[in-house]
Chains A and B, each alone.
Chain A
Amino acid sequence: MRNLGRCILGVLAVALRQPGGAQAIPFKRAIRCVRALVDFNIMAQYRSHTPDTIAYMEDYLDQFHRMKDIFLEFRVTKHTQAKVDKQRKEIRRQRALIRERVAPSQRRPDAQRRSGRRG
């Protein structure tokens, strides 16, 4: 992994050269995202830090978070989580809609009937 940090950016840049029409933007974003992580790794190896180097590292981290969406579909857990959150939100919205539509006077007899059946 130590070797990887030294060469991954160059290898990736060569592998992603000459992009097709629709590939240009994803390739650019992927390289930027990897560059931010590699830069962060290189700076993290400094033996001592100044406020400037810390600011650089925070910049790289921010850049990674801005660009990481390009890899979202490959981050299985995050992708699933986002999907689940969306579905939950939709279910909650539907439930609220149903509750609004059913008037309180209509709900009460139902509840009584249900409790009666249980008893």
Chain B
Amino acid sequence: MAVLLLALLPVPPKHSKSSKADRRQRKINANTLQDVFELIFAPLQDVAHVCIPIDCADGKVRLCFPTLSAWIADHMENVGLHGLKTNACPKCEVPTNQLGTNARSYRARDYARYQRYKPENQTSGSETDDDHVMNLGIGQNIFHGLDRVSASDMFKPDILHTIHLGLFTHMMDWIEAFLKKHGRLQAFDEVWKALPPYPGFLVPKKAYREVT
């Protein structure tokens, strides 16, 4: 896999207060991010309709239409890029209280509809039921408006963020608390340290709790 550095994104300091000045600054930050991405995506927009010749792995040259199809990031980056609140799913309109359940029947996010809806809402200044469904943040979705790109399909779960850093970290917290409650934590640590070596498996030298 080849990786090419295109740009370094500006990361502004966090604003925890909800004062007017902070809100204005957050809006400016969101607009700056939007402008940076417009710059990055500009060449991609140009070739979305006009094909370009690209060298293929089999040695031939083919006419290609490169399109953006995935964006791998952790959740906080994703909500920033999609212009959502932190407790929102970037893929579908699942309500916040349904997160973590096995609900799969919510419709995919339609960012075109959100953009039509947002300016009207901002003038009225009041929150409606739709706001809670959409969970929109301050900025706009940076992927919306790109040709041949479906913004709600940009989010792709990956092993590192979703499973190793997300799911397993939580699971180990639960297991530790569970073992503590049932008085098996010592036994767990002893078995953990006594694991035999195996090809491709790195034997842990310390107990799980001793490794931060």
A61 adjacent to B188 (CB under 8 Å): no
Which of B31-39, B111-119, B123-131, B174-182 lies at the interface with chain A?
B174-182
Bound CA span A23–B179, Å = 11
The answer, yes or no, to whether B40 is at the interface (CB within 8 Å) is: no
The answer, yes or no, to whether A71 is at the interface (CB within 8 Å) is: yes
Bound CA span A65–B103, Å = 10
A112 to chain B, nearest CB (A): 30
List 26 A-B residue pairs with CB atoms under 8 Å apart, sorted by A's residue number: A1-B165, A1-B168, A2-B164, A3-B201, A4-B208, A7-B201, A8-B171, A8-B175, A11-B191, A12-B188, A15-B184, A15-B187, A15-B188, A26-B182, A27-B182, A37-B168, A37-B171, A41-B159, A41-B163, A41-B167, A44-B163, A70-B178, A71-B178, A73-B177, A74-B173, A75-B170
Bound CA span A27–B97, Å = 28
- Enumerate the 4 nearest inter-chain pairs by beta-carbon distance, A residue then B residue, closest first: A74-B177, A1-B164, A15-B188, A71-B174
A54 to chain B, nearest CB (A): 13
Bound CA span A59–B167, Å = 17
The size class of the interface chain B forms with chain A is: 20 to 34
Within 8 A of B (CB), among A9-41: 11-12, 14-16, 23, 26-27, 30, 34, 37, 40-41
A14 to chain B, nearest CB (A): 5
Within 8 A of B (CB), among A44-68: 44-45, 61-62, 65
B191 adjacent to A15 (CB under 8 Å): yes
A3 adjacent to B171 (CB under 8 Å): no
Bound CA span A45–B102, Å = 21
Chain A neighbourhood of B191, CB < 8 A: 11, 14-15
Chain B neighbourhood of A26, CB < 8 A: 178, 182
Q: Which of A11, A34, A61 contacts B171 (CB 8 A)?
A: A34
Q: A2-B164, A74-B173 are in contact. Are A11 and B178 (CB under 8 A)?
A: no
Residues of chain A at interface, number, CB under 8 A: 33
Chain A neighbourhood of B101, CB < 8 A: 65
B159 adjacent to A45 (CB under 8 Å): yes
Chain A neighbourhood of B208, CB < 8 A: 4
B184 adjacent to A3 (CB under 8 Å): no
A62 adjacent to B174 (CB under 8 Å): no
The answer, yes or no, to whether A93 is at the interface (CB within 8 Å) is: no
Given contacts A7-B192, A37-B167, 8 further A-B contacts (CB under 8 A): A1-B165, A4-B208, A8-B172, A16-B182, A37-B168, A40-B163, A71-B178, A81-B97
The answer, yes or no, to whether B202 is at the interface (CB within 8 Å) is: yes
B167 to chain A, nearest CB (A): 6
B2 to chain A, nearest CB (A): 18
B164 adjacent to A65 (CB under 8 Å): no
